[in-house]
Structure 1
Amino acid sequence: MTTHPPGIALYTTWMPSLRGHEYTVTAEQRVTRSGAPSAMWTFSTPEQTLVAGRLRFTLTGAEIAGCFPPAGTAGDFGHLLPFVSLRDPYLPWEWELGSGKEWEHVPSLALLVLADNEIAHMANGDAAALLAPDKPPADLVLPKLDNVFLTGPCTAIDIPATFFAALVPSRDDLPLWAHVREEHTDAAEPLPATATVAAPRLPSTPGRYTAHVICLAGHEASLLKPPASGAVRMVSLSSWSFTHAPPAGDEQDSNIDAFNALEKDRRENPSAGRLRIPTPASDTSPAGQRLKAGYAPITHRLVTGEPTMAWYRGPLIPGPGTEAPAHAPFRCADEALIYSTGDGVFDITLAAAFTLGAQLVLAHTALCDTMLTWRSTAAKLARALALVTHPDTTGHDLPPASALPDPQALLQSLHRSSLRATFDVAMASGLGERITTALRTTPAQAPTSAPKSGPVASGVALRDHLGRLLDDHEATEVLRRSMVTALAPPPATAPTAPSGEAGTGGATSQTWTWDPVAMLELVPTWYLLPLAEAALPADSMRYFHLDGAWLNAFADGMLSVGSHTSTDASLTPLLKEIVFDLRQGAVMPGCGLLLRSPLVRHWPANPGVARKDDVLVTVEGAAIISRRLLTAETMLLLFDKTPSAIRMRQPAHVLEYGLDSSKGHLTLRKADGSADTDIAPLDVTGTSSYTGAVPASTDKVIKAAALLDGMIAALPAPKPPRNCETFAFQLLHPPAALTIIPPPAQG
C-alpha cells in the first residue's frame, strides 16, 4: 500500500475503467484439430451494440461536495476562479468526447460563469424535446447526440456564439480546468477524493453571476471551431448564483482574512472566549456580575401591567453551572420566577424556560399527542396499582413489595379475560360496595355506618392511597418499571423533534428519552442566545456550558401539558424521571462552541451528519456529539467534554483557486508549496497572451495553456511537467488553519 505524507495530492484525471460511450461487441471462437488431416472451425455471433454509462443531464445536491463562491453570497471574487467540487472523482471523465488520442483526457463537464444578460434563452423540459426539437431555429447549434441518450428532464441554456467562443475553453484548454484532489492526514486512509471543475472567467465586474455545470457531449465540433453567429444550446446539470461586490475598507475578501479575523478576536476578546456580554473585569456591581454570569437585560411586563427590566439567561452559560437544589417539578411559570431583593429585579430565566416548553408542545400536534398519551398511560397504571392494593381490597394497610402486582400485567390480563364475568363475580363478592365507600371517603370524614354486607371499609380515599404508594420507595419502583415498559414505543415510531427541526431524541434499551441534544434542538435561536450581537459578534468563537436548571424547567413546562388533577401532579416527578432522564440514553455534553464567521457559509455541511470530507472543526481530547446551524454563518457545536484544543482548517475541496489579489498577479510556488520570492509574480490579467476579454464586459478569461507555459518558463530548473497538476498547484491558495485552546473552566 502506498502511503502519502499529510497534505493534498493532485491528479490530472481519475479515468474510469470503461468510459461512457457506444461500443460494438463481437465474439468469436476458433476450434483447431491437430494431427492429420488438420482442420479449423470458426464460430461467431452477430455484432451487438453496448452503451456504457449514460449521459447525465442533472446533478443532485448530494453529488456536489462544495462550490465557490458559495451560493447566494456576495464578496470580492474578482481575483478568484469559480469552481465546483464533485463527490464522484470519476464524473468529469465518465463520458468520452470524440475519438482519438487528442480527446483522451478531455473532460465532458465544464463550468460556465455568465452574467444575467449573457443567456439568450433558458428552458426546462424533456431532454428529447429540448435537445432534438422537430423544428429547431436555423441559427441554433444543437448537440449531436443519438436519440437513445435523450431521456429524462433537463435544463437547456442558449448561449450567444460570441460568449461561447469567449467563455467555453477549447479542447486543448479543457483538460487543465478539471483535476482531482485527495487529502491525506495522519490517518491510514485518505479523505474521499473529489473532482474539481473550474471556470476560466475572473468575475471582476460588480454584479450578479450564475455558474452552470454544463455537459459538452455532442459539441465536439463547436469546441474545435466555435460558431461565428447564432447561439449554442447546452445542458446545465446544476447552477448557483453569487454576487461580486468589491470590498470597501477593511471588509474580508478571502477565507484567509476570515481566519485572521477569528485570530484577532481571540487575542483581543476581553471575556476570554466565553459566551457572555463583554463587561470590564473591574465591574463589581450587581449588574456587572449578572453580565459576567451570562445574563442579558430584557424588557419585562409585570402582572400588574407595568413595564420593567428583568434578567434572562439561556441554556448556554459561560461556565459550568452550579448544582440546582432539588425541588418538585414546577407546576406553572410563576413558581419559577426568582426575585432578586438586592437590585429589585426579576430573574425570569426558569419561568421563560417553563413557558417555552409548554408552548412548544402545544404548537406541535404530534408532540402534544405523545405527551398526553404518556400522561394517560401513567395515570391508568397508577390507578390500577392503587385499586388492587387498596386496604379495602387486600384487607391490610400496604402490601409488602413481594405482593405488589405489575400494573401493566394487570391491565393486560383484564383485557384478555371476560370483563363481564369478572365484573359479575367481583360484584357478588361485595367489590362495588367497597369501592364506592372508598371513593366517598375523605381524610376528614370517616364512614358513619358500616355497609350492610361485606367487610368494614378502611376509610382511606383512593387518591390518598395512591399518594401513600408514591411515597413508598418499593411501590414506586414497581410502578416505575411498569411505566418504563408501557411508555417504550416501537423503534420506528419513537417520537422525534417536530417537522422542520433537525435531530431526534435518544433511545435506550428500555425506553425513549429526551436527551440534552434533542431538547436544545427544539429551542428557538433567540431563547438559546439572547442579544446575540453583543454576546457573539461577527467573526468570533465563544465557549459555553449547559445549564441543567434551565433544561429541567424546560422539561417541567413540556410535562405541564395535560396535568389537571392531583394524581397527574403526583405522577409528574416519576414521569419526568423516565422521559427526561438527562443521565440516561445519551452523552451529557460537557462543553460547547458557538462559531460565527463567513467560513460557516463557505463550507456548508449537514449539521446532523458528520462526513469525512466536511471537516470544519476538529477537536483534541474530546468528541463532537452534535452540530447545528443556527444561521447561515453561525454554527453550534457540542462536545462530550472540554477539549484540550480546537483546530479549524479548510477542507481540500473548498480551497480558494485563483490569483493573489485583485491586482491580477500570481505568486509562483516551489515544490514544497512555499512562495518563490526569487521570482517576480506573473502579471496575469495585464498580459494579453494569458487572458482574453468577455464581450461587453471588463472581465478577463484565462487562457489555461498559455498561462501554464508562462508558469513553466518562469520557474527555475528542474522544470515541472506540463500538465494539469502543475497548473492547479500554482493556482491553489494554501489552506488556512487556526488552533485555539479553550479557556479554563472558571474565570
Structure 2
Amino acid sequence: MTTHPTEQSAPADDTPVAFYDHLLPGIEAGRYRITVEQQLPAEQLPGARLDPVEQIVDVRAAQFRLDPAWVHAVYPAAHSQGPFNGLLPHITLNPTALPWERESFTAGVQNPGRAPWLALLLFGEGELPGDPNALGTTASVTIRALLDGDAAVSGPVLDRDAVDPTLLDTPCQVVDVPGELLAQLLPQPSDLAFLAHVRTGGKDAAPVEGQDSRPGQDAHAVITTARFPGAGRGRYVAHLVSLEGHTPPGPQADGKPVRLVSLHSWTFTSCPQSGDGFGRLAGRFVPGNGEHSAAPLRPAPAADSGLPDELGTLLEQGMVPMTHITESGERALAWYSGPFLPRVAPELPRPADGHFPDADGLLLHEPHTGTFATGYACAWNVGRALALADPGFSTTLVRLRHQGRLRRATDRQYATYRRQLFLSAPSTGPAPRMAARMAPRAAALTPREQFEELLRGDALDALAPTLGIPEDDEPRPRTVRAAPAAYRLDAPKRSSAPPQASPDAREAAAWLAKLRTLSGVPFDCLVPDQRMLPPESLRLFHVDRGWLDALLDGARSLDRHPGADATTDAELDELLNGQGTVPAAGLLLRSALVPGWPTLRVEARTASGTTPVEVIRREALGADVLLMLFEKMPDRLTISEPHQGLHFGVDDQGNVALRSLAPGEVGRPLGRSVPVGADPALTVTTPAGARVLDIGRLAARLAEDVKPGSPLSPAEFAVQLVRAPEQLTLTFEGTTR
C-alpha cells in the first residue's frame, strides 16, 4: 500500500463550485401597507370616486432565533483545535436567502450595497464580560424584554407591531459586547457585503460570470468574519449576530455595551502545534503510522502475545473469541465473525430449499480449537429480531405468506376440479380412451370427489364460471352433451406472462434490500471488539455475503413453512435480485474528521483512477464513525475537504494568492500574491491584540491586480480569499479482490 498526498491547489475551471454575490428575496421581511385606489374617468358621475382601501401585511422571517437544522456547517468545527491562525472562521447556512431577508442597521440607516443583516463576530478569552473563558455562554431574555430595552445596555430599536405577538414571551439568546470592542471588530457598513456570499456545489454548478445568473442546486449562504484567530494558543467563540435595529458601531459617548441577538455560536481552540487540522488528521492514515494507518479490519494479536499459530491465524481472518451461552445455559468459548472481514469469505453452503430455517443450522464447528463459530447463527437471530421489532414489515410478510398459501390452495383445488371434470367427460371421441387409462386413479377418489363426478350437463354449465372454465364461443343445444372446452384435450392454456408482484411483495423486498445494507444492525455485531477500530483509524474490509444471507433468512423466517411458502420465497428472491447491488466491500473511518467535516468527501476508484466504485451506503454511525459500503473493493481512496467546506484566509506566509476572474478560468492561480499579514494597512492589530482585516482596503487592493478599473463584487472577493481544500489519496496494491 502506498500513499500519494496532493498539495493544495486552487479550484480549476472544472471545479464544481460557484460563487454568487447574494440571493435577494422577492420581498424583505417587515410590515407593509398596501393601499388600493380606484377612480373612474368620468368624475362627475355619482359614485365615480371610491374611498381608498388599506391593508397591513406582515412578511415574517427568522429574526430572534435560528433553527439549528439551518446551520449546514461551521469552520473551524465546534470544539476542535488546530492551527487556525491564518484562517477566517465562517458559517454555512442552508436557507440561501437568509442573510438578505432583513435590513442591517435599520435604526435610520439605509442598507448600503446589499449588506446582510447577519454578521459573524469572533471573540477571544477575556473579551466578553459575560463569557470571559470564551465557552459560548449567552444570556437568555424574552423578546418582549429585548424590545422594551435595558437602561444599562444599548439594544436594538425594532417595531414591536411587526413582531409576531405569540413570540413576545419566548426566549432568545443575547451577548453584551463592549462598544469599543464592537467598533474594532465589525467592518464599516459599506464593507459588510464582502463578508457574505452564496456558494453552490455539485455537477450542475457554474462559475461566476455575472450577476444575472441564479444559484443552482446545493446552494448555501456563507458568512465570514473579518478577524483572524491569534498566533498563540487560545480559545475563541464565534457568534452569528443580528445587526437589525442597531446603529453602525463607533465611539459611544455613554460607554454602554451593545446587546446583540446571538442566533448561533460555537467554540474552538487555535493552537499552531495541534494535530487536529484536516491535513494532520488525514495524514495519520498513511503507512507507517501504527494503528492509525489504513489497514484491514481485524483483531490482530500483539507481537509479544505468544499465541499459537492456529489462534493467530483465526485472529488474522477476523475471528474474535467471545463467551458463548448454550441453550442449556452453559458458558463456553466460541468464535465470532461479523459481516466485515479482512479477507474474501468462502461461500456458505445453502440448504436444499435455499434458506436456513433456524440459527442452529448455522453453528459451524471450528476444528482447530474444538469450538463453534457463531457468526452466521448470530446474523440469523439478529435478522429475526429486527423483523419482529418492525410491526409494519412483520405484518406485511405474514400477510404475504398467507396470500401465497391461499393462491397455492386455490390452484390445487382448481387442478382437482379440472381432473374430475375430465374424468367425467362423455363417452364419445378420444375422451373415453383417456378416461379408461385414468380409471385406476378414478377408483381412488374420495367420496366428495365421486360426488363431483355426478355433476353433468346443466349443472356443469352453471358451475363453469365459478370454476373459471371458459365457455364455448357458440351456444350449443342442451340436448347435445358435447364435452366442454374445460376438459377438451385442446383446452386454452393460461397466459405464460409472469404475474406482476403484489404490493406486499414489493414492500417486503424493499425492506429486506435495506436490511441487506446492514441498516439497523447493532454496531457491536459489525465491530465486535473496539480494538479493531481504534480512535483516528481507517479500516477496510470485505463484506461476507453468507453473513448477509443468514441475516435475511432470519428476517424472512417469520411464519415460514418451507413447503407451503416455496412460491413466496421464490418471488421474494426474484424481487431482491432487482433491488440494487449487494455490498461487497467497505470502510470504517473513526476520526475527528467525521464530526468536524459532516460532508467529508471520500471517493473510491479502481486501479486506473478513472472509474468510480459505486457507493451503496454511506452513514455516520455515532459521533465519530463513518461507514461506507461499496460494490467492490476499491484500489484507490481520496479523502478531501468538501467543496462547501472551502475556507478563507492567507497562506503560511500571510499572503493572499491571486486567482483569475476571467470567464472559464475562475479560480486559476495567477502566480502572484498580495502580502496581507505583514501589511498594517490591510491587517489591523487592535489595542487588545486582535488581528482584523480592513475589508474595504483589501478589496480595493485586490481589485488593482485582478480587475483593474473595476471594484470587486462579494463573490469575486470570496474567490480571492479561498484556500483550496486539502486531500489525501491512498492507493492499495495487491489487495485481495
TM-score, normalisation: structure 2: 0.67
Whether contact under 8 Å (2:635, 2:733) holds in the other structure is no
Cα deviations across residues 179-225 of structure 1 (Å, max 9, x unaligned)?
33345869779764432112345555978765432221111x25355
* Structure 1 pair 64–227 and aligned structure 2 pair: CA distance change class (3 A): farther
Whether contact under 8 Å (1:266, 1:540) holds in the other structure is no
Q: Return the match for 1:293 from 317, 325, 333.
A: 317
Cα deviations across residues 462-511 of structure 1 (Å, max 9, x unaligned)?
xxxxxxxxxxxxxxx99xx899548447xxxx46xxxxxxxxx62xxxxx
> How far apart are the structure 1 equivalents of 2:390 and 2:502?
25
Whether contact under 8 Å (2:86, 2:649) holds in the other structure is yes
> How far apart are the structure 1 equivalents of 2:55 and 2:61?
16
Give the partner amino acid of 2:62. R
- The alignment status of 1:65 with 2:90, answered yes or no, reads no
Cα deviations across residues 109-156 of structure 1 (Å, max 9, x unaligned)?
11234577268963365x5x24433xx432343322223431264624
- The alignment status of 1:213 with 2:240, answered yes or no, reads yes
Cα deviations across residues 345-375 of structure 1 (Å, max 9, x unaligned)?
3211111112222233344444444444445
C-alpha deviation, 1:641, in angstroms: 4.6
SS in structure 2 at match of 1:515: helix
Name the residue aligned to 1:656.
647
Structural mapping, 1:224-239, within 5 Å: 224=250, 226=252, 228-237=254-263, 239=264
> How far apart are the structure 1 equivalents of 2:720 and 2:416?
85
Name the residue aligned to 2:664.
none
Name the residue aligned to 1:555.
552
* Sequence identity percentage: 26
C-alpha deviation, 1:521, in angstroms: 0.1
C-alpha deviation, 1:49, in angstroms: 8.3
> How far apart are the structure 1 equivalents of 2:682 and 2:580?
62
- Give the unaligned 5+ runs of structure 1: 33-42, 398-428, 435-476, 496-504, 507-512, 606-613
> How far apart are the structure 1 equivalents of 2:683 and 2:604?
44
SS in structure 2 at match of 1:331: coil
> How far apart are the structure 2 equivalents of 1:660 and 1:639?
37
Q: Return the match for 1:159 from 176, 187, 203.
A: 176
> How far apart are the structure 1 equivalents of 2:563 and 2:523?
33
SS in structure 2 at match of 1:351: helix
* Structure 1 pair 242–368 and aligned structure 2 pair: CA distance change class (3 A): farther
* Structure possessing the higher relative contact order (Cα contacts under 8 Å, 6 or more residues apart): 2
SS in structure 1 at match of 2:519: helix
Q: Return the match for 1:310 from 334, 337, 360.
A: 334
> How far apart are the structure 1 equivalents of 2:293 and 2:695?
53
Cα deviations across residues 523-575 of structure 1 (Å, max 9, x unaligned)?
111212222442x4444444333322112211232234445xxxx34346554
Name the residue aligned to 1:602.
596
Name the residue aligned to 1:177.
195
Q: Return the match for 2:116 from 107, 118, 124.
A: 107
Name the residue aligned to 1:733.
723
Give the partner amino acid of 1:634. V
User: Which range moved further: 67-76 or 340-349?
Assistant: 67-76
> How far apart are the structure 2 equivalents of 1:253 and 1:387?
72
> How far apart are the structure 1 equivalents of 2:51 and 2:602?
57
SS in structure 2 at match of 1:601: helix
Name the residue aligned to 1:638.
629
Name the residue aligned to 1:142.
155
* Structure 1 pair 80–306 and aligned structure 2 pair: CA distance change class (3 A): farther
Q: Return the match for 2:93 from 69, 72, 86.
A: 86
> How far apart are the structure 1 equivalents of 2:655 and 2:591?
27
* Structure 1 pair 12–487 and aligned structure 2 pair: CA distance change class (3 A): closer
C-alpha deviation, 1:55, in angstroms: 4.4
* Structure 1 pair 659–604 and aligned structure 2 pair: CA distance change class (3 A): same
> How far apart are the structure 1 equivalents of 2:205 and 2:713?
29
Name the residue aligned to 1:570.
563
- The alignment status of 1:667 with 2:655, answered yes or no, reads yes
C-alpha deviation, 1:390, in angstroms: 7.2
- The alignment status of 1:56 with 2:45, answered yes or no, reads no
- The alignment status of 1:276 with 2:267, answered yes or no, reads no
Give the partner amino acid of 2:195. W
Cα deviations across residues 362-401 of structure 1 (Å, max 9, x unaligned)?
444444444444455455555555667679996999xxxx
> How far apart are the structure 2 equivalents of 1:576 and 1:266?
49
- The alignment status of 1:544 with 2:541, answered yes or no, reads yes
Q: Return the match for 2:15 from 6, 9, 13.
A: 6
SS in structure 1 at match of 2:524: helix
> How far apart are the structure 2 equivalents of 1:26 and 1:484?
61
Q: Return the match for 1:196 from 197, 218, 222.
A: 222
Name the residue aligned to 2:617.
626
SS in structure 1 at match of 2:618: strand
> How far apart are the structure 2 equivalents of 1:693 and 1:207?
17
* Structure 1 pair 74–307 and aligned structure 2 pair: CA distance change class (3 A): farther
> How far apart are the structure 1 equivalents of 2:337 and 2:370?
17
* Structure 1 pair 707–321 and aligned structure 2 pair: CA distance change class (3 A): farther
Give the partner amino acid of 2:243. L
User: Which range moved further: 179-188 or 642-651?
Assistant: 179-188
Matched pairs, number: 613
> How far apart are the structure 1 equivalents of 2:189 and 2:90?
19
Name the residue aligned to 1:456.
none
* Structure 1 pair 373–208 and aligned structure 2 pair: CA distance change class (3 A): farther
Cα deviations across residues 422-474 of structure 1 (Å, max 9, x unaligned)?
xxxxxxx965999xxxxxxxxxxxxxxxxxxxxxxxxxxxxxxxxxxxxxxxx
